[in-house]
Amino acid sequence: MEGKPNLTLVFQAVQALYHDPDPAGKERASVWLGELQRSVREDRGERGEDRGENRGENRGERTGGEDRGHERETAGKREG
């Protein structure tokens, strides 16, 4: 990606990704935002595997153990 896009353009792409009724518009926004993300990483010298992306950590997936406090809290309410 050449240069830094202005914030308005980034905001419009995010809006399209989540709110555009046309699937093709969402896909275009997704591709553009992906290119932006890659260009930022390249500028910072980061690689995907350094950020845990291959393990699902940045995709909102639970890898186990994160929700145990909630389970205990819920169980305590049922017992009490």
The structural domains of the chain, with segments of one domain joined by +, span: 1-41
pLDDT exceeds cutoff 50 at 62: no
pLDDT exceeds cutoff 70 at 17: yes
φ, ψ for residue 59 (rounded to 5)?
-110, 10
Q: How far apart are the first and last CA of the chain?
A: 57
Q: How confident is the model at residue 16 (pLDDT cuts 50, 70, 90)?
A: very high
Q: Using CA atoms, how far apart are residues 34 and 28, in angstroms rounded to an integer?
A: 10
Q: How confident is the model at residue 66 (pLDDT cuts 50, 70, 90)?
A: very low
Q: How confident is the model at residue 2 (pLDDT cuts 50, 70, 90)?
A: confident
